[in-house]
Structure 1
């Protein structure tokens, strides 16, 4: 299987830079698997889990908190608002954020957009934190 370069940059750091077989991400059109020699494409990225395959059967999960992806045949560049490996996630903090967002959703429509976004971030972080390294 062919490989290509993946570069993930956040405002704080270069999160990932290496050769991979494929990635699975959630773009504007839904979930996408990107292989080498993909047709050029630009897409916004949803708050979701990102799977990075270093070989056909092994992957590493990360939380991707929005951004953009520029997909080219030999390279994918992701500019992410934030990205986290499972071991970087503070699960206790994410659980508290989830509880606060759920409580806000129950009592008021004023903070609806904030609470929905906070709830989605917390849920994605909690799910990715459960992911065992599959490298």
Structure 2
């Protein structure tokens, strides 16, 4: 059994997780990363995606996050999300609205840099939609 460490998932609305866990997979901006006890210290930004938490009992819990950042230390990890909810509680209408807003941002972009950023965010949201909502 892997060594446990403290993990917290926090959104502006509430504390979603605060417990000892075995591992967590975070959708970091530069790619997914698995965090376990004694991980090297690092801070990373988080893109929209699914956070998968493996509990000490071996169960997996999944949460949807819409950006934020993670502070990782050998003794624990804190993920501060812009918005987060359990996958089982995902609101399809809210996700559809976020995707529509992102499409509008792409269409309204004033320059190439803004358009590229908006397209990247739209791609992240549509990928997330495919990952959490069955076809």
TM-score (ref. length: structure 2): 0.75
Residues 1-135 of structure 1 aligned to structure 2 (within 5 Å) = 1-55=2-56, 57-95=58-96, 97-98=98-99, 101-102=102-103, 110=110, 112=115, 116=119, 119-120=122-123, 122-123=125-126, 126-130=129-133
Deviates more, 1:84-93 or 1:7-16: 84-93
Judging changes above 3 Å, is the alpha-carbon distance between structure 1 residues 28 and 92 closer, same or farther for their aligned structure 2 residues? closer
Corresponding residue pairs, total: 130
Give 5+ residue unaligned stretches, structure 1.
none
Q: Which runs of 4+ in 1 moved over 6 A?
A: none
Query: Matches of 1:29 and 1:114 in 2, distance apart?
Result: 15
Query: C-alpha offsets along residues 7-35 of structure 1, whole Å, 9 cap, x if unaligned?
Result: 11111111211111000112233111101
CA-based RMSD: 2.9
Give 5+ residue unaligned stretches, structure 2.
none
Deviation, 1:103, is 7.5
